[in-house]
Structure 1
């Protein structure tokens, strides 16, 4: 069952958390984001194929290889992001989207607006980052 949303709809904290309208809103937001990333990825592949020409100058070749490496790293990050978007879409489908995986508490609408792939509430994320910092300093 698909819920119709008007273009001005924005989820609010005043609504029942993760009602059908909110789930549809975030599903659409995630799908648009994923499509944008896939479009950029296709453009990058096209650009890399077009630029795979042989550069006679060694400096030009080195610069081209550096640019290519940076592009490929960016695409790898986007590939991982797409996997996170797919996981968020699965959580919407199974009804667990919007709830912290550690505490089970709702993740704030503001946080989901800013980072729709979030799996942790702000408090759980901060605690996670503090733990990470402690272990990283060793």
Structure 2
């Protein structure tokens, strides 16, 4: 992500524990980070679409054709994951607008700045996420 380069505050600003949690400056930082991430994904998607349209040639060799189809399936799976990611980015941007961004959906407690910086679409605090994953593992083992 090249989000830091487009921040209104400049590339040197980083949210700090010393300031009020989710103040205007932090919200703008995360908003710009999310928007830049979304734009990167959309740009990559356009490039992939263009590549896939050019790559529609029919390969005479069956091995080449199989390899091409495998590559195409992988690209489409990747695009589908990125489409879901864009939806999560849009959800995070909505949370910024409604004032709930940065707070755990489960506990209402602040999600750590380091976690949000690493994963700006996070909706759970680290502790809540770990509990969620433990419950998932227990149910999966049944």
Q: Count the aligned residue pairs.
A: 136
Partner of 2:102, secondary structure, is coil
**SS state of the match for residue 82, structure 2?**
helix
Name the residue aligned to 1:133. 137
Q: Within 1, Cα distance between the matches of 2:10 and 2:56?
A: 45
Structure 2 residue runs without a partner (length 5+): 1-6
How high is the TM-score relative to the length of structure 2? 0.94
Within the alignment, does 1:110 sit opposite 2:114 as a pair?
yes
The question of 1:73 aligning with 2:77 is answered yes
Alpha-carbon displacement from aligned partner over 1:84-134 (angstroms, at most 9, x marks no partner): 000000000000000000000000000000000000000000000000000
Q: Does residue 40 of structure 1 match 2:28?
A: no
Q: Which runs of 4+ in 1 moved over 2 A?
A: none
Q: How does 1:16-55 map to 2 (within 5 A)?
A: 16-55=20-59
Distance 1:128 1:8, change over 3 A: same
Match of 2:62 in 1: 58
TM-score normalised by structure 1 residue count: 0.96
Measured after TM superposition, the shift of residue 4 of structure 1 is 4.6
Instruction: Compute the displacement of 1:5 (Å).
Output: 1.4
Structure 1: state its 5+ residue gaps: none
Instruction: Tell me how far apart the structure 2 counterparts of residues 18 and 108 of structure 1 sit (CA, whole Å).
Output: 11
In 2, distance between residues paired with 1:87 and 1:111?
A: 17
Deviations 1:40-76 (A, max 9, x none): 0000000000000011111111110000000000000
Q: What is the root-mean-square deviation of aligned Cα atoms in Å? A: 1.1
Secondary structure of the structure 2 residue equivalent to 1:56 = coil
